Amino acid sequence: NAGVTQTPKFQVLKTGQSMTLQCAQDMNHEYMSWYRQDPGMGLRLIHYSVGAGITDQGEVPNGYNVSRSTTEDFPLRLLSAAPSQTSVYFCASSYAQGASLYGYTFGSGTRLTVV
Partner 1 sequence: DAKTTQPNSMESNEEEPVHLPCNHSTISGTDYIHWYRQLPSQGPEYVIHGLTSNVNNRMASLAIAEDRKSSTLILHRATLRDAAVYYCILRAFKTGANNLFFGTGTRLTVIP
- 70 burial class (0-12, 13-18, 19+ CB within 10 angstroms)? exposed
1 contact partners, CB below 8 Å, separation of at least 6: none
Strands 76-78 and 87-94: unpaired
Q: Which is nearer to partner 1, 65 or 106 (CB)?
A: 106
Rg of the Cα trace of the chain?
Answer: 13
| Residue choice 81, 92, 112, 114 for contact with partner 1 (CB under 8 A) | 92
Give the residue with the Cβ less far from partner 1, 63 or 95. 95
> Considering only residues 13, 24, 90, 112, which one is a binding residue for partner 1 as defined by CB under 8 A?
90
Closer Cβ to partner 1, 49 or 85, answer by number: 49
Give residues in contact with partner 1 (CB under 8 A).
4, 31, 33, 35, 40-45, 48, 50, 56, 58-59, 90, 92, 94, 96-101, 103-109
